[in-house]
Each structure stands twice: as C-alpha cells, then as structure tokens.
Amino acid sequence: MRNLIDIVDLSVEEINELIKVAKDIIQNKEKYSHKCDGKKLATLFFEPSTRTRLSFEAAMMELGGNVIGFSEASSSSTAKGESVADTIRTVGCYSDIIAMRHPKEGAPLVASEKSVVPIINAGDGGHHHPTQTLTDLLTIHCEKGRLENLTIGLCGDLKFGRTVHSLITAMARYQNIKFVLISPKELEIPEYVKKEILEKNNIPYVETNDMEEYMNELDILYMTRVQKERFFNEEDYLRLKDYYILNKEKLEKAKEDLCIMHPLPRVNEISVEVDDDKRACYFKQVEYGKYIRMALILKLLEVK
Ligand code: NCD
C-alpha cells in the first residue's frame, strides 16, 4: 500500500506518469467517470481549506466515487481528546483512501503508520504539501512545456510556506533549475531546505529581499501568503503581511512568457489588477489541482 506524505515518496518517473494521466483526464473526462464507482475518499481536515479539500472531493466525485469527512477538528472526536492514531483506525473502516491536513508537522506520517488505507498528506503545519506540488508541476508542465531549464522566483513567506518547501524539494530533481528566493530576513527559507536540498544537490540559488532585483530573469514567479496562523505574535504578522504586493508596475521588467503562480488563498500579495494579465496562472492552477488529484487517487487505489 502506497501513501503520499512527502513529494519524494514519488519518483520522477511516477510524477511524469501522473502528469500524463492528468492530461489524458483533461482530454477524455468521460473515460474516467466511473473508475472509482463504489469507492470512498475521506477528507480529514484539522485545519482550514477551500481548494485542497474541495478539489479532492470534486476529484473523487468526477471519478464516480463518494466522499465523507470533516472540515474542522472541532466537529470531530478530536475535540473530545481522541488521538490521530485512533481517528485514522476508525476512518479506515469507512473509507478506501484518506486525505488529511493537520497543523502538526509529521501528523500524516504518524497516521500512515497506523492506517489500513492509503494516506495523502494534504498539508502538515509548516512542513510539506505534496499535492499542491503535484498541482504546481502540472501547471508548469502545461504552461511552460517543460520541468527543466527554469529560473523560479519564490516570493513571500518562505519560512512557514509549506508549498514552497515541497516545490523546492520536487524541482531539485530536474535539470538546470535555478531559484531566486525573495523574502524579508525574518521569513527566509529554513536552513534544512538550504542545506539538505539546495546545497546537497548543487542547485544554484540567490536570496534577496527585493522583489524586482531578478524579475527580468524569471520564468516562474511563485507568490505566497504570509502564513498568519504560524506566527507567534500578531505584531510581527502585521509588520510583514504586506511586504510584497505584486502589481502591474512591478511586472514591467518581467519576461513576456513569465508564469505567475500562487497556491492561493491570496490575501494582498497580488493586486487584483494582475488577474487580467495573460501571465497570471493562479486560477488555472486551481483547475489543474483537481485533475492531478484524480490521477493520484487512481494511482494510490491501483485502479487501471
Ligand atoms: C496553501 C496551504 O494550505 O499551504 N494553500 C493551498 O493548499 N492551496 C497555501 C496557503 O495556505 O497559503
């Protein structure tokens, strides 16, 4: 039985295959509409979500399956003091696959050790978010036509932003990738990502707090929200939350074929005037997320 806890649980070949299947689903939706008849997905969300939870649910429904679950810990037995391990054992009796989001780093890994059905990590604290990364890879593949030879700017909360950590981990396995890490000092990428992923794999990167400094070199600009819920004090959050706001003026030096991404939700970091720019890909990204999750569910349930 396979789980997806960290993006490196999938090989590059497996990711390529998921991208291929997702593209086939986009072209031939009918062919997949009964692949999961009679199957159930449980979505256990101990933290807020719009896209991740609903795209998992929509994905399972479009495959012909059904969905059960909860969207806040307070409405589950967690509020009575039940452990994650016991919740998972219970839900495994009712479902064929589980997507789980939890504020504690490592909770989905612990869950996977107790589970009798596949577990998908739908975000664990400030750690990882592998299905957002699959979404991002499909988006890059569809929009740029490649996953190699790219200069990727990551901007905003690189410290707590789990989507950033998973995306760097994933992209480090492709050829000729360069990173421009744009953040205020307080929200720099964690040391372990620098040492264990970037430096260990000899991936070139620069760090800057100036969003425009390398704008003309970027193929991808990945904006992120300052992760309010992971701050220890409100004052720091208020000081940093509007540090970067991407607008038309800041894009003046950008390449014509720049791909602007954001895992969403957006708070203030991309001005709405950018939404009409042909380089804005963040709502397309939302849609790609559903298709790659369909491909992932098929893989983990071993549906042919
Ligand atoms: C991200 C997350 O939950 O980490 N959202 C998402 O899943 N699309 C990004 C965020 O919340 O800022």
| 264 and 232, same domain (yes or no) | yes
In a domain, residue 96? The reply is yes
Per-residue pLDDT tens over the stretch 164-221? 999 999 999 999 999 999 999 999 999 999 999 999 999 999 999 999 999 999 999 9
- Ligand 1 atom closest to residue 129's alpha carbon, by position in its atom list: 4
Q: Is the CB of 130 under 6 A from ligand 1?
A: no
268 by DSSP, 3-state: which? coil
Q: What's the maximum distance between 2 C-alpha atoms anywhere in the chain?
A: 55
Q: Is the CB of 290 under 6 A from ligand 1?
A: no
Closest listed residue to residue 268, CA positions, set 235, 239, 244 = 244
The total number of residues written for the chain in this structure: 304
CA-nearest residue, atom 7 of ligand 1: 52
Closest listed residue to residue 98, CA positions, set 56, 49, 65, 48 = 56
In a domain, residue 185? The reply is yes
In a domain, residue 150? The reply is yes
- Ligand 1 atom closest to residue 263's alpha carbon, by position in its atom list: 8
Per-residue pLDDT tens over the stretch 83-136? 999 999 999 999 999 999 999 999 999 999 999 999 999 999 999 999 999 999
| 250 and 294, same domain (yes or no) | no
> CA-to-CA distance for 160 and 105, rounded, in angstroms?
11
- Ligand 1 atom closest to residue 52's alpha carbon, by position in its atom list: 7
> CA-to-CA distance for 138 and 15, rounded, in angstroms?
9
How many angstroms does the Cα of residue 62 sit away from the middle of ligand 1?
23
Per-residue pLDDT tens over the stretch 2-31? 999 999 999 999 999 999 999 999 999 999
How many angstroms does the Cα of residue 238 sit away from the middle of ligand 1?
19
Q: Do residues 208 and 182 make contact, with C-beta atoms less than 8 angstroms apart? A: yes
Q: Amino acid identity of 262?
A: H
| 138 and 277, same domain (yes or no) | yes
Q: Is the CB of 263 under 6 A from ligand 1?
A: yes
Q: Which domain holds residue 41?
A: 7-128+289-300
In a domain, residue 1? The reply is no
Per-residue pLDDT tens over the stretch 53-71? 999 999 999 999 999 999 9
| 38 and 146, same domain (yes or no) | no
Structurally, how many domains does the chain consist of? 2
| 170 and 30, same domain (yes or no) | no
In a domain, residue 225? The reply is yes
In a domain, residue 154? The reply is yes
| 273 and 157, same domain (yes or no) | yes
| 97 and 206, same domain (yes or no) | no
| 84 and 137, same domain (yes or no) | no
Closest listed residue to residue 258, CA positions, set 235, 240, 239, 282 = 282
Q: What CATH number is attached to the domain comprising 294?
A: 3.40.50.1370
List Cβ neighbours of 159 (8 Å cut-off, separation of 6 or more). Answer: 126, 183, 186, 187, 188, 189, 190
Instruction: Write out the H or E segment, with its range, that includes residue 150.
Output: strand 150-155
Rg of the chain on CA atoms, in Å: 19
In a domain, residue 74? The reply is yes
Query: Residue 297: how many CA atoms within 13 Å on its side-chain side?
Result: 37
| 194 and 182, same domain (yes or no) | yes
Pocket test for ligand 1, best of 101, 127, 129 (most atoms within 8 A of CB): 129
| 144 and 229, same domain (yes or no) | yes
| 124 and 170, same domain (yes or no) | no
Pocket test for ligand 1, best of 132, 135, 166, 288 (most atoms within 8 A of CB): 132
In a domain, residue 2? The reply is no
> CA-to-CA distance for 124 and 9, rounded, in angstroms?
15
| 137 and 264, same domain (yes or no) | yes
> CA-to-CA distance for 93 and 91, rounded, in angstroms?
5
